[in-house]
Amino acid sequence: MAVAGDWHADTDYAVGAIARAGARAADVIVQLGDFGYTFRPAYLDSLDAALAEEGLVLGFVDGNHEDFDWLLQQPIADDGLRYLRERIVHLPRGLRWQWGQLRCLAVGGACSLDKILRTPHTSWWSQEALSADEVGAITAAGGAEVMFCHDCPAGIAVPGSARREAGVPPDELRATAENRDRLRMIVDAVRPIRLWHGHFHQRYQSLLDAGDYRTVIDGLGRNSDPIDNNMVVVDVAALGRHVAVTPASGDGRVNPFADADAVTPTRPLNRVRGSRRRGETPA
């Protein structure tokens, strides 16, 4: 599968990323938010055609730069997903699915540092941040091995943050910190092995060591970056383990989760069943 960072409704970049994912034999793309902005039909149609050409499906978590007034009006299907096109689905906050024994969780949302420069319901939407009710519902639902998020949980020093936050009004900095704190509350309850996020436009990896659990955090870049910084291709069977977190088995090998070929996941993600066996590599 491929995991991609922010695309900001950039049609050419997104189509190129889809083609790269197809060339790397991915079966599904999980995109980490700031996906559609105003969800122009031409943008969605172009991506749907590109996905069909490559035999891929795409699920995205919501970022902060999404037209939530439009997105949240789209119906949720019986499988818990919002179908925007045949091959494009929104993964609502708190959505859970399984690949074999690997439990996955989608948690979108973040706060805009440039809110003061934006227009409500045109370029900024109040639904961008995690609510207390969403945090409560997600934490009550149990654990997961992998989380796909837009924001990064509190406790991680994201590269470039000081430069990014320079000159930002204090109210916006407080709102940003509050959202990261709320995401950390979810992480503390879920205790994932891996967490992928966008939003900060930085390709990096860090370790969240909470004492009684550890989570490998991966941040991905944005649409102005080389695709290798924005997207990685990962063997699904490797998603739920990492040498920094998962204990080795008695014979020295990292304990594997179930073979991805045995997966019966949520419908739009079912193409992962044919994924090839490979380690994590840049796209």
pLDDT, one tens digit per residue, over 90-123 is 999 999 999 878 999 999 999 998 888 899 999 9
- CATH code of residue 43: 3.60.21
Amino acid present at 121 = H
What pLDDT does 125 receive? 86
* Angle subtended at Cα 44 by Cα 130 and Cα 88, rounded to the nearest 5 degrees: 65
User: Distance between CA atoms of 193 and 148, rounded to whole angstroms?
Assistant: 12
Instruction: Compute the average pLDDT of residues 49-77.
Output: 97
Q: How many domains does the chain have?
A: 1
Which residues form the domain of 171? Answer: 2-282
User: Distance between CA atoms of 207 and 202, rounded to whole angstroms?
Assistant: 15
Instruction: Compute the average pLDDT of residues 133-148.
Output: 97
266 pLDDT higher than 50? no
Tokens representing 65 are 């730069």
What pLDDT does 165 receive? 86
CA 48 from chain center: how many Å?
19
End-to-end CA gap in the chain: 10
User: Distance between CA atoms of 38 and 161, rounded to whole angstroms?
Assistant: 26
Only one residue has tokens 């031409």, namely 42
User: Distance between CA atoms of 93 and 135, rounded to whole angstroms?
Assistant: 9
CA distances from 253 to 30, 243, 270 (A): 28, 10, 28
DSSP per-residue letters across 111-166: --TTGGGS-BTTTB-GGGSPPHHHHHHHHHT---SEEEESS--TT---TTHHHHHT
Tokens representing 201 are 């436009």
What pLDDT does 269 receive? 55
More confident residue, 149 or 262: 149
Considering the chain, what percentage of its residues have pLDDT values greater than 70? 86
SS3 of 12, please?
helix
For the segment 200-209, what is each residue's pLDDT rounded down to a tens digit?
Answer: 999 999 999 9
Tokens representing 77 are 């299907």
Tokens representing 102 are 């690997």
272 pLDDT higher than 60? no
* Under 8 Å between Cβ of 37 and 66: yes
278 pLDDT higher than 70? no
Contacts of 31 (CB under 8 A, 6+ apart): 3, 4, 5, 7, 58, 59, 60, 61
184 pLDDT higher than 60? yes
